[in-house]
Structure 1
Amino acid sequence: MKESLSERFARHLSDIRAYRKQTAPNQTKFWEMVGVTQSGGCRYEQTRSLPKPVAMLLALREMGLVSAAQLLEAKALVEEVEPHLNKAVALEETRTQRDRLKIQRALKELDGLVDVPGLDEIRNKLRDGLPT
């Protein structure tokens, strides 16, 4: 009986080192096409399970929907736009810093107030809301 695609892929994933040896000249070339370093790939081959996105890329290749060359092209494209992805992270960090400063200023203003009912509760809520 012929092995199904899912059975064959499960077999490959269960021994990712053997699969890699069948499909690529070396560790670096194999793992590079799915965006993993050689050392990271080595860890996956030894003990760690594959992250789902990596397994999905390998599945696309196994299904014949993308070639190794296309995966490398996609990797290059992502690396090219990566600075734009990092800008989004930087913007979020800036917002978090702004929020932290606003809360700290409000706490300083509250420190000047004395004998206001519920003030300690307000301070605690503000402190709890400080982003880390």
Structure 2
Amino acid sequence: MKLFDKLFNPRDVRRKLGLNQQEFWTKIGVTQSGGSRYESGRNMPKPVRELLRLVHVEQVDLSRVRREDFEIIDYLKENHPDLYKSLQKAVKTRHETGTAEDDTATIPR
């Protein structure tokens, strides 16, 4: 068993979120019956594990993520590491203080 597999059990994550199997698994493109098999111990493919982690553990809204976003992140990391770290720290502080509201209206696209 890999370390990532030990980090979370999909059934525990689902129950913690208060979702039924249909709600939980549909968000990542898995049928309820397929999700039930994963919860019962069937080996979960890495792409499914990653989607589960992103959507249900990291709480990433995939409908808002674009390839360009990752390109911007990579650009900042490579060309402006201080700015990247400063932004990362600001976001972390915002989340810790509970001021992480939906700011999409103020972010130019």
TM-score, normalisation: structure 1: 0.39
Instruction: Please say which structure displays the higher CA radius of gyration.
Output: 1
